[in-house]
Structures are given as structure tokens and as C-alpha cells.
A and B are shown apart, each in its own frame.
Chain A
Amino acid sequence: MIQTEENVTEEKITRTNQMVSFWVDGLRLGVPIAMVQEINRLNEITAVPGANTSIAGVVNLRGDVVTVLNARAIFASKQMHCENMQNIILQVEDESIGLLVDRVDDIVDVDTSTSQPTPPNIEASHRRFLKSVNMIDNSLILIVDPVAMIRKSEASTASA
């Protein structure tokens, strides 16, 4: 609980923020637009043997080899794939990392002053990289902390 309180204070400082909103297995999620480099259709992906399950593989992004994480795997969905998945390329700590999502939705303004802490009924393993819950047009959006999320997959890779 201490952790969620910290999150609240942090959010109050940042105020309104533009978020890229997207869907993963029925969940509406958002990432700060400043961290999004671009959004792609998923081009041919190369699976990596021996890698953690949350890693979908690697793709060629204009000559750079970029690791792509599967959001469905991170959120422990039963189905790992759906049709026409899209690839959000994030800039995290100087590295381009892809996040494979069902569908990119829109760019939304999120008033961070209305942020709520993540509800306790959301799985503990997910709560670590979810910053907050916000209401937009009467629907919920979960704000993701990409740095925490990517570090989490990294940690599980190392232990694998």
C-alpha cells in the first residue's frame, strides 16, 4: 500500500499528459506519448529460441534489430496472438523496444489529477508496472510504466 501512495504523489506533479491508448485482450492501456517512437504493423518477426515467453521475437526496424515484447504474454492472456496485431516502438533507456498489442486506439489527454491508484483486485504481478487508473469518456484506462514493464521482462529473462 505504501507503494500506491507514492504513485499518487508522483502523478499529481505531472498533471495532464498525452497518452497513446491501446487494447490488449480486452484491457484498455495507455503509455506516455513521449516514450513512443512510432507505431507499426507487425512486419516479419523472428522468434528467438531460449528467450523468455514475454518476448515475441526480433524485427528489422530500418536496419536496426529490435526486440519485441508481447503484451498479451506480459498480461498473462490465454491466447497469445490475435489478428492484425500492431507494434508500438518505445524508446526506453536509449533502446528501441517493440510492444506487440492487439490494436492501437487513439491519443488521449489524461488528467492525472483524477488518477486513481491501481485497484487491489488487479493481479499483484501486473500492479508493479501499472501506474494508475484513469477515467476517459466513461471508460477506464490503465496507465503503464514502460520502464518497469520492460525491466520486469528483462529480469525474468535473466532468471530463465
Chain B
Amino acid sequence: MELDDDIVNEFVEESREHLSGIELQLVQIEAGGDAIDEELVNTVFRSIHSIKGAAGFLGLKQINNLSHSFENVLGRVRERALIPDPFNVNVMLQAADQLAVLIDCIQTSDEDDHSELCRALDKLIEQENAAEGSGEMTATTKAPAKKKTTRRRTTKSSPAKKTTSTRGKKSTATAAAGQATAGDATKTEGDTAAVKSEAVPAKPKGGPGLGKQADQTIRVNVKVLDRLMNLAGELVLNRNQLIRSISQHSGTNAFTEIGNDLDRVTTDIQEVVMQTRMQAVGQVFNKFPRIIRDLSSTLGKEINLTIEGAEVEIDKTIVEAIGDPLTHLIRNCCDHAIEVPSVRVENGKPKAGSVQLRAFHQAGKVVIEIEDDGAGMDPEKLKKRAVEKGVLGVEEAKSLSNRDAIHLIFAPGFSTAETISDVSGRGVGMDVVRTNIEKIGGNVEVSSTIKVGSLVRITLPLTLAIVPAMIVEVDGNSYALPQSSIIELIRTDGEKKAIENVNDTEILRLRGVLYPMLRAEDFLAVKKTSAGSSTTAERNKDPQIVLVESGSQRFALAVDRVLDSEDIVVKPLGRHLRNLPLLAGSTILGDGKVALILDCSGIQSLVDFSSDAAAGNDQKSSLVDVNSDPQRLVILSVTDNDRFGISMDIVKRIERIELDRIESAGNRKVLQYRGGMLPLIGMEEGVEIAKSDQLDSHYDHNCSYVIVFDVYGREVGLIAPRLHDIVEFDFTNGVQVGSEPGIAGIVPINGYSTRLVDLYGITEKIRPDWFDAKKDSIKCQALRILVCEDSGFFRNFLSKVLVEQGHIVTETVDGQEGLEQLDQTPTAFDLLITDVEMPRMSGFELTKNLRADSRFKDLPIIALTSLADEHSLSTGRAAGVDDYQIKMNKPALLSSIAKLASTKVSR
């Protein structure tokens, strides 16, 4: 039979749409068991019914037969005559798969015989009939089964005859769905497939996609959308050019107004066109329940999958690109991470493992997280394996932090499974996952705790076609640097130069961290072909520095000037230029000139960073004395005549902002920040500030820094108009204890008397309400606390904080003295707070000694440190420390004490 192409294509597309959601729905039906969700079953039923009808019309016998048998089975499920169980749902899933295959090669669909599957489906009904006949029906199926005969007839009496009738059916069905959700129980007339909607109370979670069907949609060829996208891109460029020339010619008001209108409309068009390309990540997510279901039975594991945020939308190209990486990650979870039930029970976990898949928006990007409660990854094992595989040297492996060790899984040629299994050993490694994700401008991170589970976090851009970028100038040419790779812009003018030379390599020193620096002019040198002057490499003495990130490597990029930030439309380069590693494409700027887009990963590969980083580390470690624990302080000032120091350990981030972004609500200041509000406090609100009328010439009056820190889990910003430096300061001597509230002490730093800020003290003084609400969480009975701390300053500070809370404090100056004190009066203390780095006996040694002594087995121990890195954390835990706290983080310390005290009581 010769088939009309248009009609067939329409049928294929429509059927695919029907089948796309079916897997998920069937798995949900299975999960529901005998609590049948009729609306859900109806949805599947209608889908298959439509396919059957159209296939019958087109004379596609195999599809028609298969969907007919399938429909019958679904009919029985709907009537509650057949209870979904893994066995029969398996057959149904097979049928859905087979239908998809047949529809994919529609022209040859009648060549093979699929009656076996039909028989399998029919058999499901026969079995059930037999059961009924012999009167062995279970109680749950009995009652609804009475309706069976009538229902069967109705469904059978509606073989759709034409495509038009299928169409009609679909629209009525959608209407019914819409009404059902709206809680309207009107009967839908003339449509047999939707008869039962009135009997079902509307369930919002009934069938995903059901509500969506009610939307008015038309099908548009993707090519048309791509073209539209390109045209919108053109429009954006033309708009940019027009706006620029209007502003140059300072035209009449009317002109400017038209320009503004055009600007607004263009922005809207761009947005809407982007929306047309947006698709829900659910498209990808929906295939996972089936994968998990199949994998669990293959692997003999029990795995529950929870999906959140399936409705989050991203650009079509990105949705398509993340399918494979995500599948790989999910398979990995099931195969490697989740343990077999017996092991799980042994480890005190629930028998069924859980995998959580989440998508959500964050800071203009989409984040996808995959979290499991499986075995987690063992950094030591990973290191060992990396050494075996030759990915890493023995020495390198030793110095690797746990976080870096876990990221080894992304190294090419690295597979952690003991044996390559059928499930995840498919020749694609995690390196491919990472490459594919980075190719679309995303990045992937992993964190893992042994025996607790792992979390994979993928960050993706919303779209690829239009990206926000920073336009920079190098050697007279403009280049675009995608914002996604920019961490921050650094101004060095006016401040003491932070660029240092180590072995002919330039290194940027920023807030105590060293970054390798590259000068863009060095690698972006364009051969001067014109007769013009050949500028010899006269180094730019005052470059602008952009801190960029590629993979997990950060480096500083020096450019001549930072011009502007702009939304750029990415244009591919021609075939001559496609393989240049430094370039990611091109774009057309507002002035009509082409600017090249820099590729940070290409730039990064120019330099062997590992040696630079090592050089930097050497330099740093030479500064650190073994037994002292210097604190890193950020030095800031509000006017010219004052200096304040804040411990870097409690600082989360430092941001540079324009002053006009600060908004006032009442007498309180807030900053619109990362999609939320960041409350701000000013130093002058808490402490007295020396007045100064002398203006600092280096100070940018439009910008300020904001120091972001946490107060009971909420982010707060401290306004720091000027930031000077980050210094390391040893507190073992020379601290004068402060008398002002909010000031912990006064120290001389670089010739200035610097007030050490008790950040939490000052915050509490300014905004007591934030602390009042949390009073309960830190409230506990008076405890007898032993403090071990070598620095007099911190010892005093701690005592003050603890005494304020009503505790009784005994001070000792090192581990040795602490141990002696405890040994003499073993029952005199309820809790020990100890510094880590101390002379004679360190905090860890002290802890080890105490834990070895049966008298102190249960003594709660909190270690205080400024070095909250993974390594010392795990060493501390191994030694027997109950909790870790950062010095000067008062709220966290107090809640930790309260928590430990309450658990001790419950013991």
C-alpha cells in the first residue's frame, strides 16, 4: 500500500509524542500497585488507543495489532480487573518499546511478525480471566471487575476510523483532562476514551504531562526555530549598532524614544525566541525511572528514584546534550554507588537505596544534582588506582587533597569498578561525561563521603546561542570573554602591585592565594603585516586582570582594558579557523566589527600550570612556622585613619559591587544579589569611626567591597569601602584585648594599629533580632568547660564568649597542661574545647590520649582551627574529635556546644 507521506509523518510524530511519556507512566502505574490511579491509566490508554486507530486507518497491521492487544490489557487495568505487578508491567513496557521501534521504521513495520508479543499481552488477560473463572479473585479486584463487560464493549466499539477522528478525540480528551483538573465533573460526551473522568477526583499529581496537554500547541520544524533564532540574533546586533549611533549623534528626542522602544521590543523578542527553544529537563529525566527499574532487577538491588524539578527548562541543544552524560551518571550510581540490600542492612541503612535527581535554577544557571546514599568514594582507593594506572605519581598522590582525589574519576582512562560490568562499563568514562558537559559551557563537580553517599552537581547555562560576555581589549583588538569562565575582575591600579615574579613566570597574589598569570598580549600576538610600526614587547605596566576558571584551575589573565559587558550572539568560525584552540567562536559587536571569543580551556592548556602552582605553594609554606597558627586577616578601612582586621576563616566571599546597587529599606541596607536579597551592615553602625576629611585619591567612590559571611545559615554582607591586603598574623603574642563591644582586640599591622573585628559581636550589636530568634538553639545548661589554647588573645576571647553564656571556664595553654588538668580532676569538666596547633602537645595528640583513657571516652571534644581543610578534618575525626569549629565563628561554636551538651544528656 502506498502511503501518503504527509499523513504518515504526522502519524509518526504524533505517536512518538504519545509514547514519550508512556515509560514513566507505566512505571508509576506499577509503583501504584493495586491503588490504581485511573487518570494515569486513562492517559496511557488514550495514547495507545490513538495509535491503534491511526495505524488501522493507515493499514499498518503490526502496529494496529500490537496496540490493540496492549489497549485491551490497559483496559483491564483501568477496570481494576488486572493488578499491575512487575511481571505484567514488564510485558507492557516491552510492548511500548516495540511500538516505538515499529514507528521509528514505519515503512518496514509490517515486514516482521510481532504476534508473539501480542500473545504475551493477550495471555495477561487470559490468566486474569482464568483466575476470575475459578473464583480465586483477590478482594481488591472483585468489586470493580463487575463493570468489566460494559467497559470492554465501549472501548472496542471505538476503533478510530480516520486521522481526523483521532485528532478530534485527542482534543476532547484534553478538554476532559482540563476539566478534571479544574475539579469540574461534567461528563465529556461523545468520547468513549474519556468516560471515566467524572468518577475520579482531580489529583494534581495524577499524571505528569496531563496538564500540559491542555496547552495550545502547534508543531514547528526545528529548522524554522533555528532560523528565527539567528534572525533574532541579527536583530540584537542591529539594535546595538543603532543605539550606538543614536547616542553618538545625540539625535532628537523622538529619535531616542524610537530607539528605546526598539531596544525594549528587541529584548522581548530575543527572550521569547529563546523560550521557543526551551524544553523541560523532564524529557531527559523521564526515561530514568525505567532505567532504574530495569537496572535494579538486573543488579539485584533495590533503588528508589526521586525526581525534582522536571519542569525546569533549558535550551533544546543542552537538553539533547545532557541525555548521555546523565544516563551514564545514573547508571554509575546504580552500579557502583548503591550497595546490594544485604550490605546496606549490615551498614545500618534502609534496604532500598535512594537516588535523587534534582534540577533547579541558581544564579541564572540550571543546576542538576544526582545524589545517592550509597557507598561513597574512597579517596585513598582512588589515589591508589590512579597510581596503578599511571595517571598520577606516588608523590603527587600523597599530596593530593581528598576533594582532588575524588575528581580523579574524571581523569581519562580511569574506571573504578573492580570489574567492568555490563551496566556501566560501556567504554564511556567519566572523562567523556565531563568533556561533554564542558563542551556545552557547563561544569561538573563531585563530592562524596565514604559509606554515606555521593553528590554529583552539574551546572549548565540556560542557552548556548546568546551568552553574556565581557569585552576586553588586547593590543588594540576587542575580544569577548564568556562570563561563565570569569570569576572576578581585579583592579591593581592605585594599590601596591600584587604581581610577583617566580622563575620568569608572573604570579598574582590575591587575598593570600597565588594564581599563575598570563598576559593575553603574549599569546594573542597578531603578526603586524602592515607597514606600520612594529610595537616591541613593551610590557603593559598597568594591566587589568581578570581571574578566570577553566575546569577546576583558576588563573589570572592580564588584558589591556576591560571595555564592557554585553550579551553576545555566538557565530561559528569558518573551516579555516575552526580548530584554533584559543578561540571558541566569534561575535559581532555593536560597532559592526567582528570580535573573537576566547576559550579559557584552550588558554589554560598553553601553560603547564602544575609547576607554577607548586612554585607558589613552596613560597607559601616557607612562611608558615610549624607550631604557630597564624590567622589570615583581611585588612579594610572605612576612612583614611582607621584599619580593621577580620579573620579570613569566617569570611565566605568578598565581592566588589557598585554603590548604586545598594538599596535602602528603612534604615537598613540590602543588596540585590544572586537572585536574592543580601542584608548589609556597615562598620560605622557598630563601632566608632574616626572622621576624616582627607580624600583618598586611590579610592573608587562608586564601588565598594562587601564581605559575605554566615549568621546562623543566612548570608550577611559587611560593607568594606576599602580593602587593603590580606596578611598573616601570629596571635601568640602582642594582642591588646579590646574594650569596645564588637572589637576583639587591637594589633599593630604594617605600622597601623588595627582593630580586630569580632564580626559576630558587631553583627549582634547592629542587628540583635537575627540572634534573638536563634537564642533557643544555643541555649543549654551551664557547663564546666576546659579550654586549651596557646594564644592568649583567643583564650581570652573564648572565655569571654563562654562566660557570657553562663559556662564555667578553666583555661590551659597547651595540650600537655590540658591533659594534666584533666588527669587530676577527671570529673570536673563536661566539655573540652581545644586548639589544634599548640606547642608541646597538639590538640589531636591530646584528643588521642584522652580517647585512649576510658575515663574520657565520652567527653565531648570540640577542636578549633583556622585550617578547615579536608585533611585536618579527617585526621581530627580519626583522633576522636566530636566537632570542628572555626575560631571566631561564635554562633557556630555555641550551637555546637549546645548540640553536644544535649546529646551527652541523652546518653
Interface residues, chain A, with chain B CB atoms under 8 Å away: 43-44, 46-53, 55, 57-60, 63-67, 69-70, 80-81, 95, 97, 150, 153-154, 157-158
Q: Does B390 contact A (CB under 8 A)?
A: no
B529 touches A (CB below 8 Å): yes
Cβ–Cβ contact A81 & B576, under 8 A: no
Residues of chain B whose beta carbon lies under 8 Å from any beta carbon of chain A = 233-234, 237, 477, 523-527, 529-531, 571-577, 579-583, 586-588, 592-596
In the complex, which residues of chain B have a beta carbon less than 8 angstroms from the beta carbon of A53? 527
Residue numbers in B under 8 Å from A154 (CB-CB):
575-576
Which residues of chain B are near A65, meaning CB under 8 Å?
571-574, 586-588, 594
A58-B573, A58-B577, A153-B576 known; A50 vs B583 contact (CB < 8 Å): yes
A67 to B220, CA, bound (A): 33
Nearest CB of A to B236, in Å: 10
Interchain residue pairs A-B with the least CB separation, the first 10 = A67-B574, A47-B526, A80-B529, A46-B594, A49-B524, A65-B571, A63-B234, A65-B586, A58-B594, A67-B576
B residues less than 8 Å from A47 (CB atoms) = 477, 526-527
- B592–A48 CB distance below 8 A: no
Is the CB–CB distance between A81 and B573 below 8 Å?
no
Say how far B518's CB is from chain A's closest CB, in angstroms.
Answer: 13
Q: Nearest CB to that of B587 among chain A residues? A: A65
Q: Which residue of A lies closest to B476 (CB)?
A: A47
Which residues of chain A are near B594, meaning CB under 8 Å?
Answer: 46, 57-60, 65
Q: Report the nearest B residue to A49, measured CB to CB.
A: B524
Q: How far is the CA of A154 from the CA of B525 in the complex (A)?
A: 21
User: A48 to B577, Cβ gap below 8 A?
Assistant: yes
From residue A76, how far is it (CB to closest CB) to chain B in Å?
13
Across the interface, do B529 and A67 meet the contact criterion of CB distance under 8 Å? no
A85 CA to B680 CA, complexed, in Å: 59
Q: A63 — which chain B residues lie within 8 A by C-beta?
A: 233-234, 237, 588
Whole-angstrom CA separation of A64 from B592 in the bound complex: 11
| A128 to B: closest C-beta gap in Å | 17
Question: Is there an interface contact between B576 and A60, defined as CB atoms closer than 8 Å?
Answer: no
A48-B580, A63-B588 are known contacts; what are 6 more A-B pairs with Cβ within 8 Å?
A46-B594, A48-B596, A55-B576, A58-B586, A65-B572, A81-B530
Cα A50 to Cα B573 with chains together (Å): 14
What is the minimal beta-carbon distance from B156 to any residue of chain A, in angstroms?
A: 55
A47 to B530, CA, bound (A): 12
Determine the distance from Cα of A97 to Cα of B587 in the docked complex, in whole angstroms. Answer: 17
Nearest B residue to A97 via CB reads B574
B residues in contact with A67, CB < 8 Å = 573-577
Hey, which chain B residues are within 8 Å of A49, CB to CB?
A: 523-526, 582, 596
| A44 close to B588 (CB less than 8 A) | no
Interface SS majority for chain B: loop
Minimal beta-carbon separation of A92 from chain B (angstroms): 10
Complex A-B: 6 CB contacts under 8 Å:
A44-B592, A50-B581, A57-B594, A81-B530, A95-B574, A157-B577
- Given A55-B576, A65-B588, A158-B579, check contact A46 B529 (CB 8 Å): no
Looking at the assembled complex, report how far the CB atom of B244 sits from the nearest CB atom of chain A, in whole angstroms.
Answer: 14
Given known A-B contacts A44-B593, A50-B580, A64 and B531 have beta carbons under 8 A apart: no
Task: Give A135 to B407 CA distance when docked, in angstroms.
Answer: 68
Q: For the complex, what is the distance from the CA of A124 to the CA of B234, rounded to whole Å?
A: 44
Specify which of B233, B527, B577 lies most central, judged by the most chain A CB atoms within 10 Å of its CB.
B577
The answer to whether B577 and A55 touch across the interface, beta carbons within 8 angstroms, is: yes
The answer to whether A60 and B593 have CB atoms under 8 Å apart is yes
Contact of B531 among A44, A81, A97, A150 (CB under 8 A): A81
Note all chain B residues with C-beta closer than 8 A to A81.
529-531
Give every chain B residue within 8 A of A52 (Cβ-Cβ): 576
Q: Which residues of A contact B571 (CB under 8 A)?
A: 64-65
* Closest Cβ–Cβ distance, residue B519 to chain A (whole Å): 13
Cα distance A69–B577 when bound, in Å? 11
Looking at A44, A49, A50, the one whose CB has the most chain B CB atoms below 10 A away is A49
Closest CB-CB distance, A64 to chain B, in whole Å? Answer: 7
Chain B minimum-CB-distance residue to A154: B576
Q: Which residues of A contact B529 (CB under 8 A)?
A: 70, 80-81
A43 to B575, CA, bound (A): 21
CA separation between A67 and B571, bound complex, in Å?
12
Q: Residue among A47, A66, A97, A153 with the most chain B CB within 10 A?
A: A47
With A46-B477, A58-B586, A81-B531 as contacts: A157 and B523 at CB distance below 8 Å: no
- The interface residues of chain A lying within 8 Å CB-to-CB of B577 are 48, 51, 55, 58, 67, 157
Asked if A51 contacts B574 (CB within 8 A), the reply is no
Given contacts A65-B571, A65-B574, contact A50 B592 (CB under 8 A): no
Q: How far is the CA of A50 from the CA of B477 in the complex (A)?
A: 14
Task: Assess the A50–B582 pair: CB atoms within 8 A.
Answer: yes
Q: How far is the CB of A43 from chain B (nearest CB, A)?
A: 8
Chain B residue with minimal CB distance to A57?
B594
**Bound form: Cα–Cα A47–B474 in Å:** 12
Complex contacts, A60 vs chain B, CB 8 Å: 588, 592-594
Residues of B within 8 A of A153 (CB): 576
The distance from the CB of A79 to the nearest CB of chain B, in whole angstroms, is 8
Residue of A nearest to B581 (CB): A50
Min CB distance B522 to A, Å, is 10
- Of all chain B residues, the one with the shortest Cβ separation from A46 is B594
The minimal Cβ–Cβ distance linking A38 to chain B, given in whole angstroms, is: 16
**Cβ–Cβ < 8 Å partners of A59 in chain B:** 594
Query: Separation in Å of the A51 CB from the closest CB of chain B?
Result: 6
Which residue of the partner chain A has the closest CB to B527? A53
Q: Contacts of B525 on A, CB cut-off 8 Å?
A: 49
Residues of A with C-beta under 8 A to B596: 46, 48-49, 58
The minimal Cβ–Cβ distance linking B517 to chain A, given in whole angstroms, is: 19
Whether B593 lies near A95 (C-beta < 8 A) is no
Residue of B nearest to A66 (CB): B574
Residues of chain B lying within 8 A (CB to CB) of residue A69: 576
**A157, closest chain B residue (CB):** B576
With A and B bound together, what is the CA distance between A59 and B591 in angstroms? 12
Q: Which residue, B524, B529, B580, B594, has most C-beta atoms of chain A within 10 A?
A: B594
Provide the bound-state CA to CA distance between A58 and B589, in Å.
Answer: 13
Residues of A within 8 A of B582 (CB): 49-50
Establish whether residues A46 and B595, one from each chain, have CB atoms under 8 Å apart when the complex forms: yes
In chain A, what residue has the closest Cβ to B593?
A: A44
Give A93's nearest chain B residue, CB to CB.
Answer: B575
Closest B-chain residue to A52, C-beta based? Answer: B576
Q: Given the complex, which residues of A lie within 8 Å of B583, measured CB to CB?
A: 48, 50
Which residues of B lie under 8 Å from residue A46 when comparing CB positions? Answer: 477, 586, 593-596
**Separation in Å of the B233 CB from the closest CB of chain A?**
8
Q: A158 vs B578: C-alpha distance in the bound complex, in angstroms?
A: 9
The minimal Cβ–Cβ distance linking B501 to chain A, given in whole angstroms, is 25
A160 CB to closest chain B CB (Å) equals 9
User: Which residue of B has the minimal Cβ distance to A59?
Assistant: B594
CA distance A59 to B586 in the complex (A): 10
| A138 to B724 Cα, complex, angstroms | 78
Task: Given A63-B234, A63-B588, A65-B588, answer yes or no on A95-B530 (Cβ-Cβ < 8 Å).
Answer: no
- How far is B594's CA from A67's CA once the two chains are assembled, in angstroms? 11
Closest to A51 in B: B577
Which chain B residues lie closer than 8 Å to A157 at the CB level? 576-577, 579
B239 to chain A, nearest CB (A): 12
Give chain B nearest CB distance to A91 CB in angstroms.
12
How far, in angstroms, from A47 to B524 measured CA to CA in the complex? 10
Docked CA distance A30–B328 (Å)? 55
Contacting residues, chain A, for B526 (C-beta < 8 A): 47-49
List of A residues within 8 angstroms of B581 by Cβ: 50
Contacts of A70 in B (CB 8 A): 529
Residue of A nearest to B520 (CB): A49
Report the Cα distance A81→B528, complex, angstroms.
Answer: 11
What is the distance, in angstroms, from B607's C-beta to the closest C-beta of chain A?
15
Nearest chain B CB to A105 CB, angstrom units: 24
A123 to B686, CA, bound (A): 82
A54 to chain B, nearest CB (A): 9
